[in-house]
Structure 1
């Protein structure tokens, strides 16, 4: 097995899964804002905005559950079969989505989007696969490139939809189907067949007893979860509400927001290409530094100055890309014995959970002032950075005691 092919397969799958999740963003609003009533935007006579909200949130819900379960399932059944099944299954989900749009079937559309999200939550499996087979600086670089592929997907998804919608509303989804099937083919070529496990646990037993949150019984992983949740709450506060800030404080409209988002994704993608380079600093020390840097960028946006805020939005991509490259690699070294799939699943699931939490809190705080949710996010990320420093010392003391005992 050639390492470049392995990394390419993981990055391609991560890219296409993210593209699939981001595809509907420019497609759904016109469908549910259309003057002409149809079975899709007036299902059961419900308000179109309510139907739109459900349609927009159902895929991230699937991603949340998929991120929790697919990683541990790959620990039990192997990376290759789970990656192949999730890629092919997501392709089928996109095909059903296209069919639901043609039939104007809202229930089928919702089910298809949920299943697609569930199967596109395979980023933890791709991370675990790289963590299994790579070591040292190459592992850090590969995980960094994987993150770059994910960031690119969030940019490429809406662009793909916008460029191909002119040929028909279902065309973007059929392109996603073809691309995912090609990715599955590459995975089948790049990954050798794994030795069948001798364990007898079923997939249902794994889902019930080995999901990512099962790791919270371990004190050190519980600390990781708390720190990661605090940091990602700050990040998701930024992601979810900087577009509203752009409207209120910088006078931006849809086109301007799109260009700012493209610039941010571009910075994160380029930063990911160099984030895995060797450094004299300890990994957690670098993680702490970049968490402080990201918190500062969020705080600057929250203060409301237009020009400083615009610069901070773009520059935020640099520390966030480094943080997301370094932390999974360190976790793979420190906690890999718990199962790489479960550990990577915990990291991804925490981000999904933070999205939900900050969306709820932000919906209240923005009624007062949009800057409040951004400043709250900055405080939470700052606390996470501070806690990383203390945790680093606690882990060093624990390791020292273990060495003395030996």
Structure 2
């Protein structure tokens, strides 16, 4: 297959998968923060902010499991097969989410979002598809373009929600389901059939015994997991709670949140087009600098007023884009021997775990003040920056190159 077609197929899958994942961010905060009672914000008479936190956490919980197992499954049974199955399943999940909103069933909405997240773990498969078929500078650029496609989905999702929510709160979910079916058809046409490995006897065997978290048995990968988890906790604190901050501080509705999100994601997408260029700066050093940039942006939102905070939300996309261009490419080069699907799955699993942790912790802190969630995120990102710089210094002192082992 031509490299251009391969990259295009992976980026298309990334784009259309994140469109659906981004939909609830501008839709849910106004629903749960509304003074008008509905079946979502009055479930079991629990605090609406706590209900919102659970609703935000349940999709990443599915992503956590899906990211841990879909990558290794694709190592054994093929990237094409896993991408197709996951796309069809996620489309069904979006349809079920729409039904739950119609009947205002909070439990059904949670189930639908969990199932959708479980199958959206295919992002690890898309990254592995590029990691195991490309090398050198082309792999680095392709990883950056793939990140750009993910960011573009975060742009398209909120924009689509803002443009279509006037026709009904479920319309964006139906569009997302249709887009996933379209992506499945295009992937089926673009990717050749693969021969599954015979090393495992069943899907369950691979999911149970060869999931990405098995990589934590290795000291260096365990260190990567801890540092990356801290950084992604800072990032997800921002992603999950800046919409609520916009509701409380700037009195924004779903369309206003979507507009700010769209501008931020447009910045991230634009930067990603050139963030993957080769650099003479060591990867861990670059990651450290950009993690610090993330911490400053998130901290500024926590401490600033509406105008300063919205500027920081938009500028957050700069360091985040560079970080996401550097780290996956570095991991693919250094740890590819463990299986690209498993390695990319570990990165995705870490992000999902961070989503869950910060959704739960954040919903509790938000009962006091939403800015506390963002402040905690800034502290965690700053700690990750410090640890990444320390890791770089240790390798440099020992004369160890940061590239492949």
Instruction: Verify same fold: TM over 0.5.
Output: yes
Q: How many residues align?
A: 398
Which residue of 2 is the match for residue 188 of structure 1? 188
Which residue matches 2:297? 297
Q: TM-score, normalised by structure 1?
A: 0.86
Give 1:399 shift.
Answer: 7.3
Q: What is the match of residue 210 of structure 1?
A: 210
Change (3 A) 1:300 1:142: same
Query: In the superposition, relative to structure 1, how do residues 136 and 21 fare at CA in structure 2: closer, same or farther (>3 Å)?
Result: same
Matched with 1:404 is none
**1:89-104 alignment to 2 at 5 Å?**
89-98=89-98
Match of 2:74 in 1: 74
Deviation at 1:275, TM superposition (A): 0.6
Cα distance in 2 for residues equivalent to 1:376 and 1:30: 23
Does the C-alpha gap of structure 1 residues 303 and 107 become closer, same or farther in structure 2, counting only changes over 3 Å? closer
Change (3 A) 1:368 1:155: same
* Distance change >3 Å, CA 189–CA 151, structure 1 → 2: same
Alpha-carbon RMSD across the aligned residues, in angstroms, is 3.1
Shift in alpha-carbon separation, 1:170–1:378, aligned structure 2, 3 A? closer
Give 3-state SS (helix, strand or coil) of 1:122's partner: helix
CA contact (8 A) 1:227 1:384 kept: yes
Larger deviation, residues 270-279 vs 388-397: 388-397
Q: How far is the alpha carbon of 1:208 from its aligned partner?
A: 1.5
The equivalent residue for 1:253 is 252
Q: After TM superposition, give the deviation of residue 101 of structure 1 in Å.
A: 5.7
Shift of the 77–294 alpha-carbon distance from structure 1 to 2, 3 Å rule, reads same
1:148–1:269 Cα contact (<8 Å) kept: yes
Where structure 2 has 5 or more consecutive residues not aligned to the other structure, the ranges are: none
For the Cα contact (< 8 Å) 1:43–1:106, is it kept in 2? no
Q: How far apart in 2 are the matches of 1:374 and 1:171? A: 31
- Summarize the Cα distance change of 1:70–1:234 in structure 2 as closer, same or farther, 3 Å threshold: same
TM-score between both structures, scaled by the size of structure 2 = 0.86
Question: 2:70·2:125 contact (CA, 8 Å) conserved in 1?
Answer: yes
Q: Which has the larger radius of gyration?
A: 1
Moved more, 97-106 or 218-227: 97-106
Shift of 1:20: 1.5
Partner of 1:350: 350
- Per-residue deviation, 1:332: 0.3
Distance 2:29 2:309 in 1: 28
The C-alpha deviation readout for 1:55-96, integer Å capped at 9, x for no partner, is 554333222221121111111212111111111222233344
TM-superposed CA distance for 1:295, in Å, is 1.8
Report the Cα offset of residue 370 of structure 1: 4.1
Gaps of 5+ in 1: 402-406
Is 1:304–1:371's contact at 8 Å kept on the other side of the alignment? no
Counterparts of 1:163-174 in structure 2, within 5 Å, are 163-167=163-167, 170-174=170-174
